[in-house]
Chain A
């Protein structure tokens, strides 16, 4: 799953270090990136991301996104 998330993020965040733990806090994941990311995750993992989940903590790192996806798959 992590590899797929990295692939999706890599297409959206060109030239950004994906090992960062503060992707959203540093402003790399802005609202337009969120639109694309949420759609890709929705299509790829068949999940529905609720509004409450659209907070920086869930998008700060690949691991945080993975944790979000896993929690929504349960």
Chain B
């Protein structure tokens, strides 16, 4: 079920909320958890009626591994259990997401076409597996105790609002909320508004701009007019941000409505003045997952051993440092790339990001801080912009052809009637989308409140305006949900 669809908005969500709040919280948190688990499984089964059984098996297996690994921190057995958990979860991802990609590449190397199995990725498996690994590893590390209650583990792994596209919540962030949480009217209202903001981001900006993106990237890359090619990357920057940040807002909002605190996933990534900073603001929970479950273990194990080995061999310190950085960053960004999609384009995209991050480690800042920030911002936007051509094209040949069209190297025209049509029909979404990527309103609001003699009054007036505006936007978003029907999220396919 899609959380922007009419059945979700008008049936699933209201019914869930009604029954959830009818269960007395203080006495029956367990009952609320049971209810949430049942509706979450129903939510998943709506889209995946068969593979929900596989998901249930994965839940039980991970829960059992969590039980076995409890109290075994640092032991050989504990390490083996963690290894098995990683193997099962990553193995599942491999079969459904990467098997055909691997077969294609083996076939390419052997010079003959191998038969592909054509498995499609179960909804949300990429997010599910990362959270399942966090469940077993957090217990192994002693950060949390294992739950003997299968219900709690199941709910953590399958709760409907974060199941299909995150945010990736680590078990140590969620565990206490399974045992005690509060639902308040303020929390519910905050959640509802957050949900409405997310819905508007998705239905008004992302979905509308998505038409431009789909159309441009479906056109033959070599014959694409120059302006259309530039517009394609720009529009995709806006679309993917509002699509995923919109979903994250909706998930956080839904969480609040049910009394859960879900971590933030975005913090205005397009204001970053470095690629490193950009990735600290984009899909924050994925970055945190990679840091805690891959980057640090790699650092404390192989990376340090490598440094010691190189030091023993009397390799120059700076060279050793560079090799170490290349190794850890290469591993992380290869994985980040391939996590987003089983194509070489995503791998290249990941490695380009990793290369810029290493470069930033050695880059000396300019003495003029303002100029340094301005140039940093321009370069970060340029990296985000141009790499969009790589991930939106099916192969590297098409990506190069697309770059050629951007600079008029394919003998393509500068502009076409279709280009003008995009601007004429979608300019409003492009302009609003671009402005809303930056914290302009937050800054204006801050100034108005701080510069006023009666800040309380200003706050009340602004709150009133915000409420009315959001209500109007919410109604328009709902109308778009009716008009457009099912509109998939981009990260759903990752």
Which of B153-161, B163-171, B292-300 forms part of the interface with chain A? B292-300
Which residue of A is nearest B307, CB measured?
A39
Q: Quick check: is A67 within 8 A (CB to CB) of the other chain? A: no
Residues of A within 8 A of B325 (CB): 32, 35-36
- Contacts A14-B364, A32-B276, A36-B321 given; does A42 touch B304 at CB 8 Å: yes
Taking residues whose C-beta sits less than 8 angstroms from the other chain, chain B's interface range is 20 to 34
A2-38 interface mask toward B, CB cutoff 8 Å, 1 = contact, 0 = none?
Answer: 0000000000101100000000000100111111101
Q: Could you tell me the distance between the alpha carbons of A52 and B329 in the complex, rounded to whole angstroms?
A: 22
Q: Which of A15, A30, A38, A43 contacts B300 (CB 8 A)?
A: A38
Q: Which of B296, B300, B358 contacts A31 (CB 8 A)?
A: B296
Contact A43 B280 (CB under 8 A): no
Candidate in A15, A27, A31, A49 with the most chain B CB atoms within 10 angstroms: A31
Q: Which of B304, B311, B358, B365 contacts A38 (CB 8 A)?
A: B304
- Contacts A32-B361, A39-B307, A43-B311 given; does A49 touch B280 at CB 8 Å: no
Contact A39 B303 (CB under 8 A): yes
Contact B276 A34 (CB under 8 A): no
Q: Could you tell me the distance between the alpha carbons of A14 and B372 in the complex, rounded to whole angstroms?
A: 13
Contact A38 B280 (CB under 8 A): no
Majority SS at the chain A contact face = helix
What's the minimum C-beta distance from B492 to chain A, rounded to whole angstroms? 27
Q: Quick check: is B277 within 8 A (CB to CB) of the other chain? A: yes
What's the minimum C-beta distance from B200 to chain A, rounded to whole angstroms? 30
Contact A43 B308 (CB under 8 A): yes
Q: Quick check: is A72 within 8 A (CB to CB) of the other chain? A: no
- Contacts A14-B365, A42-B304 given; does A35 touch B280 at CB 8 Å: no
Contact B324 A36 (CB under 8 A): yes
- Contacts A15-B365, A32-B361 given; does A54 touch B304 at CB 8 Å: no
Q: Quick check: is B340 within 8 A (CB to CB) of the other chain? A: no
Residues of B within 8 A of A30 (CB): 276, 280
Q: Quick check: is B141 within 8 A (CB to CB) of the other chain? A: yes
Q: Which of B277, B303, B308 contacts A35 (CB 8 A)?
A: B303
Q: Quick check: is B85 within 8 A (CB to CB) of the other chain? A: no
Contact B329 A32 (CB under 8 A): yes
Residues of B within 8 A of A42 (CB): 304, 307-308
B340-382 interface mask toward A, CB cutoff 8 Å, 1 = contact, 0 = none?
Answer: 0000000000000000011001001100000000000000000
Contact A49 B276 (CB under 8 A): no
Residues of A within 8 A of B457 (CB): none
Q: Which of A14, A15, A27, A33 contacts B280 (CB 8 A)?
A: A27
Q: Could you tell me the distance between the alpha carbons of A32 and B307 in the complex, rounded to whole angstroms?
A: 15
Q: Could you tell me the distance between the alpha carbons of A64 and B122 in the complex, rounded to whole angstroms?
A: 46
Q: Could you tell me the distance between the alpha carbons of A54 and B141 in the complex, rounded to whole angstroms?
A: 13
Which residue of A is nearest B295, CB measured?
A31
Q: Which of A14, A27, A34, A36 contacts B296 (CB 8 A)?
A: A34
Q: Quick check: is B445 within 8 A (CB to CB) of the other chain? A: no
Contact B364 A35 (CB under 8 A): no
Candidate in A27, A33, A35, A42 with the most chain B CB atoms within 10 angstroms: A35
Q: Which of B291, B297, B307, B361 contacts A43 (CB 8 A)?
A: B307
Q: Quick check: is B328 within 8 A (CB to CB) of the other chain? A: yes
Which residue of B is nearest A42, CB measured?
B304
Residues of B within 8 A of A38 (CB): 299-300, 304
What's the minimum C-beta distance from A29 to chain B, rounded to whole angstroms? 12
What's the minimum C-beta distance from B366 to chain A, rounded to whole angstroms? 9
Q: Could you tell me the distance between the alpha carbons of A49 and B303 in the complex, rounded to whole angstroms?
A: 13
Which residue of B is nearest A30, CB measured?
B276
Q: Could you tell me the distance between the alpha carbons of A12 and B360 in the complex, rounded to whole angstroms?
A: 11
Q: Could you tell me the distance between the alpha carbons of A19 and B101 in the complex, rounded to whole angstroms?
A: 50
Q: Which 9 A-B pairs have the closest CB atoms?
A: A39-B307, A35-B299, A15-B365, A31-B291, A31-B295, A54-B296, A39-B304, A35-B328, A42-B304
Q: List 7 A-B contacts (CB under 8 A).
A: A14-B364, A27-B277, A32-B357, A35-B325, A38-B300, A39-B303, A42-B304
Residues of A within 8 A of B (CB): 12, 14-15, 27, 30-36, 38-39, 42-43, 49-52, 54
Q: Could you list 17 further interchain pairs (A-B, Cβ under 8 angstroms) beyond the known A15-B364, A27-B277?
A: A14-B365, A15-B365, A30-B280, A31-B295, A32-B328, A32-B329, A33-B361, A35-B303, A38-B300, A38-B304, A42-B307, A43-B311, A49-B300, A51-B141, A51-B297, A52-B141, A54-B300
